[in-house]
Amino acid sequence: MATKQQRLAVVGGGPAGLMAATVLAEAGHGVDLFDAMPTPGRKLLVAGRGGFNLSHSAPLPEFARRYGVHQSWFEKILARFSPADLRRWLADMGIETFVGSSGRVFPAKASAADLLRAWLARLDQAGVALHTSHRWLDLTPEGNLIFRRAAGPDLLVAPAGVVLALGGASWPKTGSDGTWSAILARHGVKIVPFAPSNCGFEAAWSATLVDRFAGAPLKNLALATTSGHGSVGELVITRYGVEGGAIYPLTPVLRDELAATGRALLFIDLKRNLSEQEVVARLQRPRGKMTLSNFLRKQLRLDGPASSLLRECCPAADLNDPARLAARIKHLPLVLTGIRPLAEAISSAGGIDMAEVDASGMLRRLPGIFAAGEMLGWEAPTGGFLLQAAFSTGYCAAHGLLSWLAQGGRQAPQP
């Protein structure tokens, strides 16, 4: 087995790992960056499809609330590297950003590929050694890393400190497959089982609805769960059920309800900007010979997908009674029968139990080894909160490692 001697090691070439490697190298340390794939940043490129949402402009207290039970932990992380810090950092690389009408932060002109190229050039200039097609296999009792290489014998790396940033378990084709969890579990680190997050849900659609409206959006909705959690935005009818930005923030609640009862109820307000009384008044207008679909389109601007959804989820008697139909339009119950597989999810819940890391991101059971990004057991909705967490935890884990070294950890030789 070949051996590579002490420098600092970052394992994982996604946004958290790239950030950690940048901080460590620009602090003057020799850094080896390892990635299992032939090229780094594959999940970053996936995030760039259909709009590259880097962060969000929400005030920090509101921003931190998006991480649910881990709000207080993220308040400290975001204070160290905030969305504003991220925008300044990107500007230093020539990536200007802007805030969209929804509060989301996007690059002004650059694509995900542009950002990745600029970032890799910055790492190269800082002296980071990039090792692709190196899959992490194990950790020795001494804290050394063993990698399986695409060519040549396995590699033993004896670093002075490590940042692990191996991602969660969604989009496994990008290299984010969660296999690292078994390694850490063998070394006593508690792992919370992975679960899909920011994903689609299944519903028992009729063939008619699927054939006519699969892929059709339902816009400007308000959603609510039986426990009172809510969100607004868009749903997309799919062949298996629904997906979209409105349902993603409700994933944890709906996932738990499905696990407990085998089904979950989602209540849809199809006209969230009108009161139920206003809807009733419009439905009481003369209908004449118009079909229900045309009447709903004329009076309430509810198009074909919305009309079909009403027929799908309402008893027939409700469709011909203005008061009962108005109640359904404002509070339409949709029965969800399942959740889509982890491999399809935008992100994953689970991973390293947050109690296993200290405030700096170091694994309490493995001194000198820090964790960042989605491999930590936090969960957040889309809208910029996922990528910001990756950037911020990568930044903080790197600074945690630098502080650990300064306080007496195994000193890394200067390059």
Q: pLDDT tens digit string along 172-201?
A: 888 889 999 999 999 999 999 999 999 999
Q: Each residue of 63-112: pLDDT tens digit?
A: 999 999 999 999 999 999 999 999 999 999 999 999 998 899 999 999 99
The tokens describing 179, both together, are 């296999």
Q: What is the mean pLDDT of the chain?
A: 93
Q: Each residue of 18-48: pLDDT tens digit?
A: 999 999 999 999 999 999 999 999 988 887 7
Closest CA to 14 of 164, 125, 166, 130: 166
Cα(112)–Cα(54) distance, rounded to whole angstroms?
Answer: 10
Cα(102)–Cα(294) distance, rounded to whole angstroms?
Answer: 32
- Do residues 383 and 56 make contact, with C-beta atoms less than 8 angstroms apart? yes
Cα(15)–Cα(45) distance, rounded to whole angstroms?
Answer: 10
Going by their DSSP bridges, the two strands 264-269 and 332-336 should be labelled as antiparallel
- Do residues 234 and 102 make contact, with C-beta atoms less than 8 angstroms apart? no
Cα(221)–Cα(276) distance, rounded to whole angstroms?
Answer: 14
pLDDT at 258 over 80: yes
φ/ψ of 181, rounded to 5, equals -60, -35
Task: Give the orientation angle of helix 112-125 with respect to helix 15-26, to 10 degrees.
Answer: 30
3 state SS of 218? strand
Closest CA to 41 of 181, 174, 180, 198: 174
413 band by pLDDT with thresholds 50, 70 and 90: very low
Q: Each residue of 305-316: pLDDT tens digit?
A: 999 999 999 998
High-pLDDT (> 70) share of the chain, %: 97
- Residue 207 is given by DSSP the state H
Cα(348)–Cα(386) distance, rounded to whole angstroms?
Answer: 10
Q: How far is CA 317 from the centre of its chain?
A: 42
The tokens describing 205, both together, are 């659609």
Strands (E), 101-216: 104-107, 129-131, 134-139, 145-149, 155-157, 161-164, 191-197, 201-202
Cα(20)–Cα(17) distance, rounded to whole angstroms?
Answer: 5
pLDDT at 228 over 70: yes
Residue 293, Ramachandran bin (φ over 0: left; ψ between -120 and 50: alpha; else beta): alpha
The alpha helices in 173-230, defined as continuous H runs, are: 180-186, 207-213
For residue 175, the model assigns a pLDDT of 85
Lowest pLDDT segment from 14-23, 215-224, 284-293, 353-362: 284-293
What's the predicted TM-score (pTM) here?
Answer: 0.91
For residue 6, the model assigns a pLDDT of 63
Going by their DSSP bridges, the two strands 155-157 and 145-149 should be labelled as antiparallel
The tokens describing 152, both together, are 């040549």
- Do residues 396 and 86 make contact, with C-beta atoms less than 8 angstroms apart? no
pLDDT at 5 over 60: no
Length of the chain: 415
Cα(369)–Cα(397) distance, rounded to whole angstroms?
Answer: 9
The alpha helices in 200-334, defined as continuous H runs, are: 207-213, 251-261, 276-283, 292-300, 304-313, 316-319, 322-330
For residue 4, the model assigns a pLDDT of 53
User: What is the DSSP secondary-structure string of 324-349?
Assistant: HHHHHHHSEEEEE-EE--GGGSSEEE
Cα(321)–Cα(339) distance, rounded to whole angstroms?
Answer: 34
Q: Each residue of 141-173: pLDDT tens digit?
A: 888 999 999 888 999 999 999 999 999 999 888
| Residue ranges of domains in the chain | 2-196+344-406, 201-339
Write the CATH number of the domain with boundaries 2-196+344-406: 3.50.50.60
3 state SS of 289? coil
- Do residues 332 and 267 make contact, with C-beta atoms less than 8 angstroms apart? yes
3 state SS of 241? strand
Using only C-alpha atoms, what is the Rg of the chain?
A: 24
- Do residues 204 and 358 make contact, with C-beta atoms less than 8 angstroms apart? no
For residue 410, the model assigns a pLDDT of 55
Q: Each residue of 352-408: pLDDT tens digit?
A: 999 999 989 999 999 999 999 999 999 999 999 999 999 999 999 999 999 999 998
pLDDT (mean) for 248-258 = 96
High-pLDDT (> 90) share of the chain, %: 86
For residue 275, the model assigns a pLDDT of 96
